[in-house]
Amino acid sequence: MKAFIFPGQGCQREGMGKELYEHFSIAKEMFERANTFLGRRITDVMFYGDEIALMETKNTQPAVFLYEVVLALTQSEIKPDVVAGHSLGEFAALVINGTISFEDGLNLVLNRALIAQKVCEQYDTAMGAVIGLPDEYIEKRIKEISEESGENIYFANYNGPGQVVITGSRQGIRLACKALKNEGAKKAVPLAIGGSFHSPYMAKAQEELGNIIEKTTFKTPSIPIYQCVDGLSHIRPDEIKRNLVLHITHPVLWTSMTQNMEKDGVMEFYEVGTDDTLQKIVARMCPDKQVTSLWEIPTYKNINLLKNKQL
């Protein structure tokens, strides 16, 4: 079995998608459809904008979503048996398996970004990365630190064994990172992200975006999707829709998603993104499986040769 895995926010880079636009007619068509739908040329930001422009709320999430969908659609060599997306990546996965249309996915992602940003501005919150301690220990300690300090601290991402993201009040994240570093974490640092995604702080965003999700048409997908909220495989549209609403306040269970894909027979994982963020995690968890980037298949050979020549 083959899985397409889609990374989330953070994999954006300058020039993303330009090579696809120039080499594939379907990519050009999809990018122009996005420009028309958004009423502006987001491709100008993606192809020619700097890092600051790509980090603007109205650009970041649509750009990542658009790039991932287009990358998956420009090749026909590999047909995935299942899909899975990390946080934002779940929306691209839902387009590729046919659950939602391209335009509906773009609409949801744009609203997700704008609504979340609006909610984030109401609270002084932050996120932090912790590496090198057992998940159970971190769970116990952030609960203790939260109770002792009165600051809210939650799990945001279970990215892999001993590799997690926590979130909560800015002061709570500072306290937790300092304590966990002193208690043996290889890394425990606040991230350059304002907000508290995948936590109860997003309750208002869940309600607002949830209303939009409920009005969106969800079809029975062609292949199953492993979803962030429970790590399990789903194919029923009503379940997928419910999980996508819960996704906004619920931690990302990427560890469970990867373990369940392996248990269910996935032998090949292809990351559909700009870098190797998910590949590194999956390769550590599944050392005997094939883990690579979609960019490594022959479809993109000429583009990669051109890149290497330019380097």
What amino acid is encoded at 228 in this protein? Answer: C
User: Could you give the 3-state DSSP secondary structure of residue 48?
Assistant: helix
Catalytic residues: 87, 198
Q: What is the pLDDT of residues 165-215, one digit of tens each?
A: 999 999 999 999 999 999 999 999 998 777 889 999 999 999 999 999 999
Token pair for residue 123? 């609270």
Cα 115 to Cα 43: distance, rounded to the nearest angstrom: 22
Residue 39 CB-density burial (10 A; 0-12 exposed, 13-18 middle, 19+ buried)? exposed
Count the Cβ atoms, other than its own, within 10 Å of residue 119.
23
> Above 90 in pLDDT, residue 27?
yes
Rounded to whole angstroms, what are the CA distances from 97 to 67, 154, 276?
16, 31, 22
Question: pLDDT grade, residue 308 (50/70/90)?
Answer: low
Return the pLDDT at 309: 45
Helix axes 203-214, 237-246, angle to 10 degrees: 160
Return the pLDDT at 54: 87
Across 300-308, average pLDDT: 69
Return the pLDDT at 121: 87
Count the Cβ atoms, other than its own, within 10 Å of residue 311.
5
pTM across the whole model: 0.94
Cα 7 to Cα 21: distance, rounded to the nearest angstrom: 20
Cα 268 to Cα 241: distance, rounded to the nearest angstrom: 27
Return the pLDDT at 56: 85
Domains, the chain: 2-120+200-310 (3.40.366.10), 125-194 (3.30.70.250)
Q: What is the pLDDT of residues 133-175, one digit of tens each?
A: 999 999 999 999 999 999 999 999 999 999 999 999 999 999 9
| CB-CB contact of 92 with 68 (8 Å) | yes
Return the pLDDT at 311: 38
| CB-CB contact of 8 with 91 (8 Å) | no
Return the pLDDT at 204: 94
Closest Cα to residue 169, out of 138, 213, 124, 204? Answer: 124
Helix axes 57-73, 102-120, angle to 10 degrees: 150
Q: What is the pLDDT of residues 212-228, one digit of tens each?
A: 999 999 999 999 999 99
Across 266-291, average pLDDT: 96
Laid out side by side, the sheet with 225-226 consists of: 233-234, 225-226, 82-85, 2-6, 268-271, 290-293
Render the burial of 47-74: b for 16+ CB within 10 Å, e for the rest.
bebeeeebeeeebbbbbbbbbbbbbbbb
